[in-house]
A and B are shown apart, each in its own frame.
Chain A
Amino acid sequence: MGERILLQGSHVIAEAAIRAGCRYYFGYPITPQNEFTEYMANALASLSDGVFIQAESEVAAINMVIGVSMTGRRVMTSSSSPGISLKQEGISFLSGQELPAVIVNTMRGGPGLGNIAPAQGDYFQATRGGGHGDYRNIVLAPGSGQELADFTRMSFEYADRYRIPVIILGDGMMGQMMEPVEFPEPIDPGSLPEKPWVLDGAKGRHSRIIRSMILDASAMEEHNWRLFRKYQMIEREIPQVELFLTDDARLVVVAYGTASRIAKGAIKRVREMGLKVGLIRPKTLWPFPKGPLLELSRVVTDFLVFEMSTGQMVEDVKLSLEGRRRLHFYGRPGGIISTPDEIAKVINRIYFKEGL
């Protein structure tokens, strides 16, 4: 490990991607994530094997990603909510064709054009696939500058390991914040293991086909079940959480990304008042960390989901708890950033109302 560097969040992801051996980036300008695209433009221009194209559209960008991914190289794109909607057809194709790719979504207020303020309204879109068809994406939700670096490295590894699109879900707050970061050692793209399924010209072999069209219904069904078994394997292998002050907690807040940082501030405040409150922070949104949540629910009676939306992840928490425990929700959509005091008040109200 190297030195600690102070960098803004969007630059951390970009630098971490290059250190993960990503030499191909395709993107389209959209606020609030232009710093990311610009960093990639500069960094890739200075590398002899770097390729950067400012695409004519979000649609073209994701399709350039598909092309590079077919050759087995590490590749990524990024955008913000409306742009991610435009990429969904391509993400569905990546899933059907089992191609690895990394996609960063700096979420903003919506629906429609919305605004450019931090929000978490794309949770459903990211965790339910987002495009057409029966598929899932791996969705990572970093919660600190260091995690932006670590999760970016992890996202390329997961994408290659499972041949799946990986979405890094953040917002403008995560993209702008400056925190000290220690980057992992850079990977030489040439040293990455060869992928046996790539298109590279059929030298000494018959043709190789990468496709998602399977006209025969029983073959299509088998493809769907094969993808499903892969998703089951991912659900077993990678769910991750952070537990914060949960050992003696009577009320546990569930929050991710920017919301989890606000929640931590609130929990510190209510702890000072003697309230036994903790936090469970999903680091993977899909697969949703059902296991750790169920484990906590053996002793914790009350859960409060806090999201910067009108309530999306709360449905996964509800599905995980299956009605065993009381579930509360507090959300602020549209780009409103709650203060820790505001959340502390919500915690207080629930804590005393439920007689904890």
Chain B
Amino acid sequence: MKRVFGRPRSMKDAVFHYCPGCGHSIIHRLVAEVIDELDIREKIICVPPVGCAVLAYNYLDIDMGEAPHGRATAVATGIKRALPDRIVFSYQGDGDIAAIGTAETIHAANRGEKITVIFVNNGTYGMTGGQMAPTTIIGQRSTTTPGGRNLDRDGAPLDLSEMLAINNGSVYIERTAVDSTRNIIRTKKAITKAFRVQMEGLGFALVEILSPCPTNLKMSPVQASKWISSKMTTCFPLKVIKDKIARL
């Protein structure tokens, strides 16, 4: 019988702890598929975040080194500088990368560190129970913005990817989503390109992925995905934000 679907080699045989409808499960799988397809499982090292995806090491069968909250790109910098022929990537949520770790992220990009960043933007602090994230959109309710995010009081959502695009050292930045099959396929393409940028030693690459968190949005998985396409993408438009190497 012809095998048409199976667990990627780079995934462990484990059941996800993620909530039903959470985007992390999809994104983990995409990352694992890309690692398999690029045949880099034996030379890749991941730095997971602090947040729901800290447990990525329970699912991805690759070397993993845990960083303090927000410091993943600094830790990844150390690993990559010590092992320049390995593929090093951080996997970070919005709170991790765009609030507590903003400085490390901007400077890693500006130095042009040859690392890949998978930035999962779900607009909330999932693991701690749904507080306002740097990417919570205006009007969005959270446990710390009970009346919705207020521009005057809380400031605007942080467009980290656009900020990083200004940096000289970043070469490829794209924002995608996993709210539909079409966008999941696009996301996989973007992840593939972000790793290929590193494999060719070209510089800093980041894929921002809008991802549903039904639990903290207090929505069904289907509603949460619809919320991404109808609301979140108006604030965070899906697009290639920077591409210095269109050929890949």
Q: Interface of A with B (CB < 8 Å)?
A: 24, 26, 51, 53, 55-57, 59-61, 63-71, 73, 75, 89-90, 93, 97, 199-204, 206-213
Binds A, one of B57-65, B145-153, B208-216, B239-247: B57-65
Chain A residue, CB-CB nearest to B61: A207
**B83 CB–A CB distance under 8 Å:** yes
- Taking a contact as CB atoms under 8 Å apart, the answer to whether B76 and A60 are in contact is no
A41 CB → nearest B CB, Å: 15
Q: Interface of B with A (CB < 8 Å)?
A: 12, 41-45, 47, 54, 57, 60-68, 71, 74-83, 86-87, 103-104, 106-107, 111
**How far is B73's CA from A57's CA once the two chains are assembled, in angstroms?**
13
A27 CB → nearest B CB, Å: 13
- Taking a contact as CB atoms under 8 Å apart, the answer to whether B45 and A201 are in contact is yes
- Taking a contact as CB atoms under 8 Å apart, the answer to whether A55 and B61 are in contact is no
Given contacts A24-B82, A60-B107, A63-B74, contact A202 B68 (CB under 8 A): no
**How far is B102's CA from A57's CA once the two chains are assembled, in angstroms?**
12
B39 CB → nearest A CB, Å: 12
Given contacts A200-B83, A202-B41, A202-B63, contact A26 B68 (CB under 8 A): no
By Cβ-Cβ distance, the 7 closest A-B pairs, closest first, are A67-B78, A63-B74, A211-B66, A56-B107, A201-B43, A63-B71, A64-B78
A89, A210, A212 — which one has the most chain B CB atoms within 10 A of its CB? A210
A313 CB → nearest B CB, Å: 30
**How far is B67's CA from A176's CA once the two chains are assembled, in angstroms?**
35
A67 CB → nearest B CB, Å: 2
Chain B residue, CB-CB nearest to A210: B65
- Taking a contact as CB atoms under 8 Å apart, the answer to whether A63 and B104 are in contact is yes
B126 CB → nearest A CB, Å: 16
Which residues of the other chain, B, contact A70 by a CB distance below 8 angstroms? 45, 65, 75, 78-79
- Taking a contact as CB atoms under 8 Å apart, the answer to whether A71 and B82 are in contact is yes
Chain B residue, CB-CB nearest to A70: B65
- Taking a contact as CB atoms under 8 Å apart, the answer to whether A53 and B77 are in contact is yes
Interface contacts beyond A67-B74, A89-B68, A211-B65: sample of 13 additional A-B pairs, CB < 8 Å, sorted by A: A61-B74, A63-B67, A63-B71, A63-B75, A63-B78, A66-B67, A70-B65, A90-B68, A202-B41, A202-B62, A203-B43, A208-B63, A211-B57
